[in-house]
Amino acid sequence: MTAKVNKKIIAWIGWALLFFGFLLCAIIVSFCIGSVVIPLDKIFQIIFNGRGTQEYSILFNDRLPRIILGFGIGSALSLAGALLQGIFRNPLVEPYTLGIAGCAALGVCFNIIFRLHHLVGIFTLPFSGFSGALLAVILIYVLSHKKGIIKIKNILLLGVMISFISSSLIMFLMSISKTENLHGIIFWTMGSLGETNRILVSLAPIAAFLGLIVAYIFSINLNALSLGEEEAFYLGISVERTKQVLFIVASLLTGLSVSIAGIIGFVGLVVPHFVRMIVGRDHRVLLICSFFGGAGFLLICDTVARTVISPLELPVGAITGIIGGTILIYVLSKKQVVL
């Protein structure tokens, strides 16, 4: 009797450890590989004795912040995607398809053009990203509760439209902006883990981790929600509160990610999907594996992006799209997947 339960839990622990291991490997790979390959044994030497050498500089000034950011943002986006997919019970949902990221981008764009961050300080950038994200969430929430627009398919359509409108607005802002601003915007929309501000960089993984903890508290609720909102209600779940809290968490994570690292798509869509196919739909294992998986995935993509045509750097968003999309298509074609 109890053996069945134990099997399930053992499987979960196994998966969680596996994905954690994947993350650790991705971190190590990111440390070692770049336009200069530093083998693993040398790394320990450098960390302890190498202060002042070039390799030390590369590891600590260039690669370490990238790793911290990649960890934080990959996990945040992936978690946000998993949460949104759980709330909407729809596998096509992720921060980008709902227009959340588009609006966050718009917020940051606005900030750059009107130079608000010069007035009030560097934190207005993540703040404007988050405000944009929250605006999109509120819009979707309000419109989806109005009579006649309650169906989930309509929410998706709404999200796509918001996404399009945001991109168009961004293009419009770009066309009327001065050249100096233009560069800033273009760099930023291409998605990059090159942020240097210490506080922003450190904030990313901490925020993601906090998001994970909050999300975990609602993991049972998400499981119940997968049976339908009414059924979840009958199980004693406070459905509205669950949706509200998780909406806010997802938009916080997205807004933060977009404002620090620009537009990096696909992570929120592909990783939870892929993880769900492997570990199942129970959110108690899905959330944590998506967390680790997303972080590892982004780190690997970033390593590819900055190594392939070194010394030039590809935008990491392009790599996540290519690798992520390819993996997903391949897996879907092989397996009959029922979500």
Q: Is 52 in the site for other proteins (CB under 8 A)?
A: yes
For the CB of residue 249, give the shortest distance to other proteins in the complex, in Å. 17
* C-beta separation of 95 from 105 below 8 A: no
Contacts of 325 (CB under 8 A, 6+ apart): 266, 270
* C-beta separation of 198 from 260 below 8 A: no
The dihedral of CA 20, 306, 331, 262: what is its sign? positive
For the CB of residue 290, give the shortest distance to other proteins in the complex, in Å. 13
According to CB under 8 A, which one of 18, 29, 36, 304 is a site residue for other proteins?
36
Q: Is 224 in the site for other proteins (CB under 8 A)?
A: yes
Q: Is 2 in the site for other proteins (CB under 8 A)?
A: yes
Q: Is 115 in the site for other proteins (CB under 8 A)?
A: no
Spacing of C-alpha 26 from chain mean position: 16
For the CB of residue 210, give the shortest distance to other proteins in the complex, in Å. 10
* C-beta separation of 170 from 190 below 8 A: no
Residue with tokens 């796509």: 160
* C-beta separation of 188 from 262 below 8 A: yes
Residue 223: closest CA among 78, 87, 76? 87
What SS3 class is residue 35? Answer: coil
Q: Is 138 in the site for other proteins (CB under 8 A)?
A: no
Q: Is 235 in the site for other proteins (CB under 8 A)?
A: yes
Q: Is 179 in the site for other proteins (CB under 8 A)?
A: yes
For the CB of residue 193, give the shortest distance to other proteins in the complex, in Å. 10
* C-beta separation of 22 from 38 below 8 A: no
The token duo for 217 is 């508290």
Q: Which amino acid is at 264?
A: I
According to CB under 8 A, which one of 148, 311, 333, 334 is a site residue for other proteins?
311
Q: Is 148 in the site for other proteins (CB under 8 A)?
A: no
For the CB of residue 235, give the shortest distance to other proteins in the complex, in Å. 5
The length of the chain is 339
CA distance 313 to 310: 6
Q: Is 328 in the site for other proteins (CB under 8 A)?
A: no
Stretch that binds other proteins, among 108-116, 125-133, 156-164, 171-179 (CB under 8 A): 171-179
Residue 98 phi/psi, 5° resolution?
A: -90, 5
Q: Is 227 in the site for other proteins (CB under 8 A)?
A: yes
For the CB of residue 90, give the shortest distance to other proteins in the complex, in Å. 12
Binding mask 247-286 for other proteins (x = CB under 8 A): ----------------------------------xx-x--
According to CB under 8 A, which one of 205, 262, 268, 321 is a site residue for other proteins?
205
The token duo for 299 is 């780190």
According to CB under 8 A, which one of 97, 111, 128, 219 is a site residue for other proteins?
219
Q: Closest CB to other proteins among 160 and 284?
A: 284
